[in-house]
Structure 1
């Protein structure tokens, strides 16, 4: 399985922005998942793909075509940039700009939304490690119930109980009982 390092992600997004500019397009993305953990937190060296939401739905087809061109040029899989994580998004909060270049801008959602997504997914050691890192960012200096209330609106319906147990377990590991 191919993975993408910080440099490869940056090369791909730079090239995507260049291609967008030639079409008179300015791509706006919200990145989630592993790409955010690599780019914003240096939490791991690579990710298997770049999960993104294209914020201009009318341009989505063209953005996918340009992403395919990037994949061909770099000999990457066609799904290097994909919206596979959108099932874990409950709305889209506006977080920090992760990168901006001619033709493209990418943000992350709020830390609370990222944490809610990881707690809702809770599939493997990578999700657990990512959630732990995010909880360190969100929970510092706060009470458990305050943090829970800040992430609760972003939980995927049907995954609330799993997320709650995961949250409590991580909280106790990091901060003890509250």
Structure 2
């Protein structure tokens, strides 16, 4: 048994195995599902900056909840996943989003995986601005590098596209300043 199975973490390969398994169970039950993934699972699968994630932050499309919950329970058992491996708590912070910019990440026969564009994900990371051990700062740093953001004005433009600036408090302002500093810029 590998380290990730023992710790309940899901690395990139395990996440893809889980999604393939989910697709097969959906196909058996003649069910189509669209899932939008956020957070650590995106950073693990798309940006390769995390070795693993403990949960899949996601939102499901409207579907047969009873059947889907059964499929998720079977998946949890099959992969020895911890409670909370599917985390739909992302729905609450999504209420603060001015607009969603989603793009298709992967399509299986019965499962379609969407993800927010990098700009939206960055704005969400800044809004969350959780202290360590949360990975918001590292994720925001990687997203800034990926998006070639070198000025505070550019970052604020992206944030204001997705988040009302009135939601930015002391924690987020400090987060932005430290982010600029770590990137090598003076964002005072």
Q: Name the TM tier (shorter chain).
A: 0.7 to 0.9
More helix by share: 1
What's the offset of the Cα at 1:16? Answer: 0.7
Deviation, 1:69, is 1.3
Is this contact kept in 2: 1:29–1:107, CA < 8 A? yes
| Structure-2 residue corresponding to 1:43 | 49
Kindly tell me: are residues 151 and 141 of structure 1, through their superposed partners in 2, closer, same or farther at Cα, counting changes over 3 Å?
closer
Which residue number corresponds to residue 91 of structure 2? 86
For residues 134 and 60 of structure 1, the distance between their equivalents in structure 2, rounded to whole angstroms, comes to 34
Q: Is structure 2 residue 73 aligned with structure 1 residue 97?
A: no
**Match among 162, 166, 181 for residue 154 of structure 1:** 162
CA distance 1:61–1:53, change in 2 (3 Å): farther
Where does structure 2 lack aligned partners over 5 or more consecutive residues? 1-6
Aligned to 1:19: 25
Q: TM-score, normalised by structure 2?
A: 0.81
2:69 paired residue among 60, 64, 67: 64
Partner of 2:143: 134
The C-alpha deviation readout for 1:106-157, integer Å capped at 9, x for no partner, is: 121021221122112222332211111112123x165421331222243378
Number of equivalent positions: 176
Q: Within 2, Cα distance between the matches of 1:75 and 1:147?
A: 40
Q: Using the alignment, how far apart are the partners of 2:24 and 2:103 within structure 1?
A: 22
The separation in 2 between residues aligned to 1:157 and 1:147, in whole angstroms, is 12
Pair 1:76-2:81 in alignment: yes
Larger radius of gyration: 2
Q: Which moved more, 1:66-75 or 1:42-51?
A: 66-75
Shift, 1:159, TM fit: 4.5
**Partner deviation per Cα, 1:44-83 (whole Å, 9 max, x = no partner):** 11001111111x2344443333111111122212422221
